[in-house]
A = this chain, B = another copy of it.
């Protein structure tokens, strides 16, 4: 049974080159958040490394770890020691040549709750994720911590209404989006504000459409990359309520711990007043599983 309220915490981090230093720093921040009252915390995507997907390099696969590896053991120990449930993103080694961008979920006694594997994999200049990560095969899942039900989704997933919807239908009170998103230095002046606003808007839109809390934990700081322009990660981590109201938001350039309360009574009150789940036309959505609705246009004579 869900209790009525719980406090969630996001770590907005700047990453160094050293894995151990990032792991220790991230878990120190999680411990501090727990001291401040957080009951479920979320670290940024791939938080133990710089964002290595800025280029394609097979040596980077050395960074991946199996489920039983030292990174997740450290996360479980931190959860147990500080009595805090943790959404812990990591680079998962599943088999030789088969890797995922994943997040493990540990309950507040360090026990294993389950695994999410990033379902939507981007591939854009300096975000060469399709080279590194096989798309997830576990679907969209909510996990029941002792405090409340949360669903991890990862970064590129945040642009997909289907992901937020399915996580909500799984019973999540809050969606967590560990993230690594930023500006290309040459684009920031012209497009930066619109890109950040679109990123906020689409996620706050998921909160509204689903009547669910949404929490995005991004990294921060400029990360250079050999023969590349580098990325300025834009921070701006935030927590929104089920009407999309911002409860907390971080700066675009500093490490921060964000805390906010998930109030399941408020969530139900919002859904009673805006009963979107009641009126879904599940009889009319089956074409969502089509790539595009153009099956009548498959010869060169058809209009474009």
Chain A residues with CB under 8 Å of chain B are: 1-2, 119-122, 124, 135, 139-140, 144, 156, 159-166, 169-171, 194-195, 197-198, 201-206, 208-209, 243-245, 273-277, 279-294, 303-304
Contact = CB atoms under 8 A, between A and B. Distances in A.
B202 A159 contact: no
A162 B285 contact: yes
Given A121-B279, A208-B198, A293-B170, A165 B284 contact: no
A275 B121 CA distance: 11
Given A1-B304, A139-B284, A120 B166 contact: no
For the complex of A and B, 8 pairs with smallest distance between CB atoms: A205-B205, A161-B161, A202-B208, A169-B293, A198-B208, A202-B205, A162-B285, A282-B289
Contacts of A281: 119-120, 135, 160, 162-163
B202 A166 contact: no
A276 B166 contact: no
6 contacts: A1-B304, A140-B284, A159-B209, A162-B285, A170-B293, A198-B208
Contact of A194 (B135, B139, B160, B245): B245
A139 B245 CA distance: 31
Give the oligomeric copy count: 2
B293 A289 contact: no
A285 B284 contact: no
Nearest to A187: B273
A287 B166 contact: yes
Contacts of A159: 208-209, 274, 276
Contacts of A285: 162, 166, 288-289
Contacts of A289: 282-283, 285-286, 288
Given A206-B205, A282-B289, A289-B282, A276 B243 contact: no
Nearest to A240: B201
A161 B165 contact: yes
B166 A293 contact: yes
Contact of A291 (B124, B195, B282): B282
Contact of A1 (B162, B165, B282, B303): B303
Contacts of A304: 1-2
A169 B243 CA distance: 27
A171 to B, nearest CB: 7
A165 B289 CA distance: 11
Given A119-B281, A209-B159, A166 B288 contact: yes
